[in-house]
Amino acid sequence: MQRSVLVRRLRDVIHALCISSCIGALACKERSRGDEARFPGDTTGIVRPAALSDLASHVRQLNAIVLADVRDISANYDRCEGPRTILHLRNARSLLGSPHTDSMTLRVFGGPVPGGRYAHASESPRYVAGGRYLLFLFNTDWRFSPVMGSLAFRVESIAGREVLLSPDGQGVTGVSTLAVETQTPMLALPAGLPGLGTVVVSRTPAAQFVPCSVNANGTPRCPRLPVDSLPPRETFTAADPWIPRPTAEDVARTITVKELVFKIDSVAKGLGAKPGGYFARKPRLECWDAIPTRKPRQ
């Protein structure tokens, strides 16, 4: 009698476990289908990026080094892609690696999200409309930006010399086994930060002074450069009273666009790597979605 009761109970437990497993499997399957449906377009053949630990890892994942002008900057939001800052480029020229068209767009993570908030990746460079940039593009898929790490350098003329400015406002001085080196004092305000003084945009024949201010909520308000104007020769160089005007001595060790491209090409040849190949115009790795967290208990 006791044995039959135990057998029946065991059967009930097994039956309940089977039902729970089936329900869980169906739920996971439906969730998987829902997640996959949110990906934009075809996700077959994804090329996942490797860690960017040194210069060699950058060079092996390099599609192209592109020199281009940022004609305009706009914003877009998609539930899967998340908030995107769209860089509209013109006069694009590939100096190393795969060729690219004269006009192209880059979709960089960051921008307004529903609810009035703003999201961005802290490690991603910021860009200035009207600026000229040297961009290192991935030959893999990506999630946040097609530009490799912080390798987006603004091209400026400072103290009579062509200078590549890092996102932090320092000049490029060469390359090492670890990275592209920027061993100069701060030569300009980091792009995208509020201007505390007067921004000087030097053109021919005269200079135009563009004042910057700050909105009531603390966000910067700087007039955008005319999109139809010629690329400025000197942009955001003498912008802040706390940053002394750069001298010829400050930029004596900097290298030009041509010199940096030559050095990267030499590194690639030494590694037996050939920049080029695949280029993803949109993110295809994982969907970005903001899930509100619960408020902490009082």
Q: What is the pLDDT of residues 190-208, one digit of tens each?
A: 765 443 333 333 333 333 4
Between 18-32, 37-51, 135-149, 277-291, the lowest mean confidence (pLDDT) is in 18-32
Residue 225 in domain: yes
Query: What is the reported pLDDT for 45?
Result: 85
Query: What is the reported pLDDT for 89?
Result: 97
For residue 15, what pLDDT band results from cuts at 50, 70 and 90? Answer: low
Structure tokens at 12: 């009930």
190 plus 60 within the same structural domain: yes
Distance set, CA 21 to CA 14, 16, 156 (Å): 10, 9, 62
Among 92, 104, 48, smallest CA distance to 68 is for: 92
Distance set, CA 151 to CA 15, 24, 268 (Å): 58, 45, 16
Query: What is the reported pLDDT for 141?
Result: 95
Residue 140 in domain: yes
For residue 121, what pLDDT band results from cuts at 50, 70 and 90? Answer: confident
Q: What is the pLDDT of residues 229-271, one digit of tens each?
A: 334 333 444 445 566 788 889 899 999 999 999 999 999 999 9
13 plus 59 within the same structural domain: no
- How many domains, the chain? 2
208 plus 67 within the same structural domain: yes
**Is a pLDDT exceeding 80 seen at residue 83?**
yes
Residue 43 in domain: no
For residue 118, what pLDDT band results from cuts at 50, 70 and 90? Answer: confident
64 plus 16 within the same structural domain: no
Phi-psi bin for 268: left (phi > 0), alpha (psi -120 to 50), beta?
alpha
Omega of the bond prior to 205 within 30 degrees of 0, cis? yes
59 plus 193 within the same structural domain: yes
172 plus 209 within the same structural domain: yes
**Pairing state between β 82-97 and 62-78:** antiparallel
Domain that holds residue 2: 1-38
For residue 13, what pLDDT band results from cuts at 50, 70 and 90? Answer: low
62 plus 7 within the same structural domain: no
Query: What is the reported pLDDT for 41?
Result: 60
33 plus 60 within the same structural domain: no
Residue 61 in domain: yes
**Is a pLDDT exceeding 80 seen at residue 214?**
no
- The answer to whether the CB of 148 falls within 8 A of the CB of 275 is no
Beta bridge partners of 68: 133
33 plus 65 within the same structural domain: no
Phi, psi (degrees; rounded to nearest 5) at 89: -100, 150
Average pLDDT for residues 56-73, to the nearest whole number? 96
Residue 103 in domain: no
Residue 279 in domain: no
25 plus 133 within the same structural domain: no
Amino acid at 181: E
34 plus 59 within the same structural domain: no
265 plus 228 within the same structural domain: yes
**Pairing state between β 62-78 and 147-158:** unpaired
Residue 77 in domain: no
Q: What is the pLDDT of residues 160-172, one digit of tens each?
A: 899 999 998 999 9
